């Protein structure tokens, strides 16, 4: 599965759209990876959404990642989990989940990226690339140049995240990103399927 860590990676946001409905729309547009992120949802709700999303991603041969919650990811048979700097340590997550399970880690600096790789992470979410309203606590944008530095310092897949849209995605890809993570760029679009398709085409034509 690690060879499939590239392309357009869409993250859910319940405040913008129903997670299952939005996943169905972006998969129809060609998204290669989707992540269930719902910070304040009860566990039972996460599991319910996760089971439905798992079925959709299998139908579309896409990867399914769960944010933060390793227990939910394992319970719904997701392909992996994405961990922040304050979440479960990567070695412990790996011990619990096994070698085939994908583990992503958020990183803002070269040092965080290298540590994540050394600990066994499979991919990095680097950002915020640009200012973003979706995650108010995301911090100061690091920009594509930081992603370029991180990409040169590690061997695992690197995704840009934070404030990425159709207008600036090319900058992130030019910096060497293996993929782009988006939320509002597609979920807030009038037609999420078409918005996803445009980003997929941009990625394919780079």
pLDDT in tens, 130-157: 987 766 666 789 999 999 999 999 999 9
Q: Do the Cβ atoms of 35 and 11 come closer than 8 Å?
A: yes
**Residue ranges per structural domain of the chain:** 2-204
In 3-state terms, what secondary structure has residue 10? Answer: strand
> Which of the following is catalytic: 22, 54, 69, 106?
106
Q: How many CB atoms lie within 10 A of CB 205?
A: 8
Average pLDDT value for residue range 175-202: 97
What does the alpha-carbon distance between residue 124 and residue 195 come to, in Å, rounded to a whole number?
24
Question: What pTM was computed for the model?
Answer: 0.96
Residues 6+ away with beta carbon under 8 Å from 174: 144, 206
Fold assignment, 2-204:
TIM Barrel (3.20.20)
Average pLDDT value for residue range 153-168: 97
Residue-level pLDDT at 205 = 85
Active site residue 39: no
Q: Is the pLDDT of residue 68 over 90?
A: yes
Residue-level pLDDT at 65 = 98
Q: How many CB atoms lie within 10 A of CB 160?
A: 34
Active site residue 151: no
For residue 101, what is the DSSP state? S
Q: Is the pLDDT of residue 56 over 70?
A: yes
Active site residue 135: yes
């Amino acid at each position: 599965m690690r060879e499939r860590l590239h392309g357009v990676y869409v993250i859910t946001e319940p405040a913008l759209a129903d997670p299952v409905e939005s996943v169905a729309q972006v998969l129809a547009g060609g998204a290669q990876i989707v992540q269930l992120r719902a910070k304040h949802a009860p566990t039972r709700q996460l599991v319910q959404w996760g089971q439905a999303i798992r079925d959709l991603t299998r139908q579309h041969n896409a990867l399914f990642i769960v944010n933060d919650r390793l227990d939910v990811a394992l319970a719904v048979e997701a392909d992996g989990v994405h961990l922040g700097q304050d979440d479960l340590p990567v070695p412990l997550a790996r011990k619990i989940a096994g070698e085939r399970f994908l583990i992503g880690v958020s990183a803002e600096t070269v040092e965080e990226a290298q540590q994540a790789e050394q600990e066994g992470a499979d991919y990095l979410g680097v950002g915020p690339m640009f200012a973003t309203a979706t995650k108010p606590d995301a911090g100061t944008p690091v920009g594509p140049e930081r992603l370029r530095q991180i990409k040169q310092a590690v061997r695992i897949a690197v995704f840009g995240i934070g404030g990425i849209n159709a207008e600036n995605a090319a900058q992130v890809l030019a910096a060497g990103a293996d993929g782009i993570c988006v939320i509002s760029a597609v979920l807030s679009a009038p037609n999420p399927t078409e918005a996803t398709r445009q980003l997929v085409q941009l990625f394919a034509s780079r």
